[in-house]
Structures are given as C-alpha cells and as structure tokens.
C-alpha cells in the first residue's frame, strides 16, 4: 500500500505538484496580508510623570505619545521621543462639559480665532517635532462646531493632523475639518477608563479584535502603572497578524472641496501617505515564475514554511539563473526595518 502511494507520487509531475503547493501558500499569504490588522496606540497626558513616561519610551517606537504643552517635562520627553523616531502629538487641553480644574491655555468655544491661533502656536513651540494633535478632555469644545472650525483653520496652516479622542458622542471635529486640508482620525478604544491591568488587557484585546475586523484600530491610554504593565505584557506577545503602527500611518488622503493644498507642498504627512501606499502595493503576478517569486517573498517571515522557502529559493535559482536578493529572509528583515524607520520618523 505504501509502495503504491510512493509510486503514484513519483509518477506525478513533481514540478506541477510543487507549483500547486506554492500557489496555495501564496493565495493563503495574500489573504492573510489583506486582513493584516494595524493597531495604533497613543499614550496621552505626557509631561508630568517622568518615571512612568520613561517606561513608555522603552516600548516599541510605534507606541506614540501625546504631550501636554504646559507640562513641566513635556519638551524633554518630546526631544527624547523624537530621537527614537517616535511619533509625537500635541495633547491640547480643551474645555470639558463638567466643572473641573483646567490646564493652562485650555481652548474654550467662546475664544476668537486669534486667541485659538495664539494657543496652538504656543503649543507647537512647547512640543517640538509634533506631527499631530489630539484633545485633552474637551467635550464642550469638540461638540461645538464653530469652535472646532476655528481649530481646524489654524491646524491647516501648521500641517498637523487631528486625532479626535472622542470624549463625547456628538463631536464635531470631523465635520469642522471639511473643506480644510486637516486629516482627522478617531479614537476607537480607551485602554484605562478603569485602572486595572485586567481591564487594560481586556481593552487591548478589544482593539485587536476591532483592528482585525476593520483593518485598523486606534487605542488611547495614559501613563498609569496598571496601563504600563498591561501594555508591556500585551506588546511582548502581540499576535503575528497585528502590526503596530503610528496614528499618522493610518491617515488616508483627505478629499477636500477646494484645491488640495497637500499636493503642492512636500510635507511630513505626505511622507506618511507615501508609506501607506508603499505598504499597500502588491505586484501583479504575470507568469508562473512571478508566482513562485511572490511565494518566496510572502513566506520569508513564516516560521512554519521556512524549510519550504529554502526549497523555493533553490528552484528559483535554477529557473531564473540568477539570485533574488530581496527574497532572502535576512535581507527582507533589514528592508522592513528601514521602511518602518522611514515611516515612523515623520
Ligand atoms: Zn488627557
């Protein structure tokens, strides 16, 4: 019986058999890539707690930080984070609905455009290297369309994106940005409304589930000890299909009703958009050899098929008669590192 099986395998065209196996893995890999889950994590309220925030800066560089402009350590943290290639946001205080102590230079809906301009310019000076802004508190401000329109008009002159923390359901941030060049993205999950490790791990898992479902998710946390411990644990065991990204890397081109000012000026956000396009680009397979090459590239980082990949390389070498440097696992890793660095540095 075993001998019969062996004979039938020998009779089958081994090249065609291998081709169909490779095609199966290629399609499987493309399918997995298409569902890659991109997760952005932002830690708010940076600038007050050096000990905790130092631990944040020891996390992967894709974990971004939002700095309170008038905090005592904000500028120092911005410089350190920038040296790491970490994305920085201005965490701009905005008026809440409830009565509570306000940060200095908190935006109020009643402020004039000039006053808002002054506060934002001050914040930009206090938080160097910022590429985006999100709101600290701010339910009264972000639910006020006229107030947020002034904010967006000012931001459009400073090439900053806006991450809406969504502290209130009827936030007007997205609506206020229409007609401006300001890209707006929204927070999906708060990690630590309840400050326990278990709760933050639960919220991180929620974010991962959402990222798998819609392709991306944005989670916001704070430098609480419980949040830090939960993040350290979860990030150390992040599933392979989840890619940690910065919020800026999730930006999509914003259709504006007026001229697209971004296309006129080469700026940081465009670099981010270019990175997204590069990451999303997939070569179209043309020939059987192209299929084999794609399979080799797609499988290089998959431990399960590393052995198979080695066989692919051997066959490709025979077929093409030349080396395929980009498909070597070690080179692929180096290239991916470079690409990440280039995108995360904007
Ligand atoms: Zn805050």
For residue 137, report the distance from its CA to the centre of ligand 1, in Å: 6
Q: Is residue 24 part of a domain?
A: no
In the predicted structure, residue 106 carries a pLDDT above the cut 70: yes
For residue 346, report the distance from its CA to the centre of ligand 1, in Å: 23
Tally of CB atoms within 10 A around 283: 9
For residue 141, report the distance from its CA to the centre of ligand 1, in Å: 14
Q: Is residue 317 part of a domain?
A: no
In the predicted structure, residue 308 carries a pLDDT above the cut 90: no
Q: Is residue 114 part of a domain?
A: yes
For residue 91, report the distance from its CA to the centre of ligand 1, in Å: 7
Q: Is residue 262 part of a domain?
A: no
Greatest Cα pair distance, the chain, in angstroms, is: 87
Closest CA to 276 of 181, 213, 186, 183: 183
For residue 135, report the distance from its CA to the centre of ligand 1, in Å: 7
Domain count along the chain: 1
Closest CA to 150 of 161, 142, 159: 142
Provide the CATH number for the domain around residue 113. Answer: 3.20.20.370
Rounded mean pLDDT of 243-262? 67
Q: Is residue 227 part of a domain?
A: yes
User: pLDDT over 70 for what percent of the chain?
Assistant: 65
In the predicted structure, residue 178 carries a pLDDT above the cut 60: yes
Q: Is residue 143 part of a domain?
A: yes
Q: Is residue 311 part of a domain?
A: no
Rounded distance between C-alpha atoms, residue 127 and residue 138, angstroms: 19
Q: For residue 53, give the H/E element and its range.
A: helix 50-57
| Contact between 86 and 66 (Cβ < 8 Å) | no
- Confidence tier at 14 by pLDDT (50, 70, 90): confident
Q: Is residue 68 part of a domain?
A: yes
In the predicted structure, residue 190 carries a pLDDT above the cut 80: yes
- Give pLDDT tens digits for 111-166: 999 999 999 999 999 999 999 999 999 999 999 999 999 999 999 999 999 999 99
Rounded mean pLDDT of 190-208? 98
For residue 223, report the distance from its CA to the centre of ligand 1, in Å: 10
pTM here? 0.66
For residue 250, report the distance from its CA to the centre of ligand 1, in Å: 21
- Confidence tier at 20 by pLDDT (50, 70, 90): confident
Rounded distance between C-alpha atoms, residue 89 and residue 234, angstroms: 23
The residue range of the domain holding 142 is: 37-250
- 159 Cβ contact list (under 8 Å, min separation 6): 265, 267, 268, 269
């Amino acid at each position: 019986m075993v001998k019969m099986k062996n004979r039938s395998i020998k009779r089958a065209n081994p090249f065609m058999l291998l081709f169909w196996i490779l095609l199966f893995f290629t399609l499987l890999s493309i399918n997995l890539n298409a569902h890659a889950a991109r997760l952005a994590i932002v830690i708010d309220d940076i600038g007050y707690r050096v000990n905790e925030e130092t631990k944040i800066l020891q996390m992967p560089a894709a974990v971004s930080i939002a700095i309170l402009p008038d905090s005592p350590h904000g500028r120092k943290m911005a410089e350190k984070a920038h040296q790491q290639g970490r994305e920085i946001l201005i965490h701009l205080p905005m008026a809440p609905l409830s009565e509570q102590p306000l940060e200095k230079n908190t935006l109020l809906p009643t402020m004039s455009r000039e006053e808002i301009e002054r506060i934002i310019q001050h914040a930009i000076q206090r938080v160097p290297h910022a590429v985006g802004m999100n709101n600290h508190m701010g339910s009264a401000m972000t639910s006020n369309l006229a107030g947020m329109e002034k904010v967006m008009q000012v931001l459009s002159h400073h090439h900053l994106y806006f991450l809406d923390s969504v502290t209130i359901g009827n936030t007007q941030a997205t609506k206020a940005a229409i007609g401006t060049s300001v890209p707006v993205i929204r927070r999906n999950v708060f990690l630590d409304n309840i400050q326990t490790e278990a709760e933050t791990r639960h919220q991180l898992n929620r974010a991962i589930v959402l990222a798998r479902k819609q392709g991306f998710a944005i989670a916001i946390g704070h430098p609480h000890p419980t949040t830090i411990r939960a993040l350290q644990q979860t990030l150390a065991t992040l599933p392979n299909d989840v890619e940690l990204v910065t919020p800026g890397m999730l930006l999509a081109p914003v259709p504006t009703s007026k001229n697209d000012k971004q296309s006129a000026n080469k700026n940081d956000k465009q670099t981010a958009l270019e990175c997204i396009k590069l990451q999303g680009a997939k070569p179209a397979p043309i020939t059987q050899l192209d299929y084999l090459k794609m399979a080799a590239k797609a499988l290089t980082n998959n431990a399960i098929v590393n052995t198979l990949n080695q066989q692919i390389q051997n066959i490709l070498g025979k077929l093409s008669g030349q080396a395929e440097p980009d498909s070597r696992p070690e080179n692929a890793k180096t290239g991916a590192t470079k690409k990440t660095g280039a995108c995360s540095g904007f």
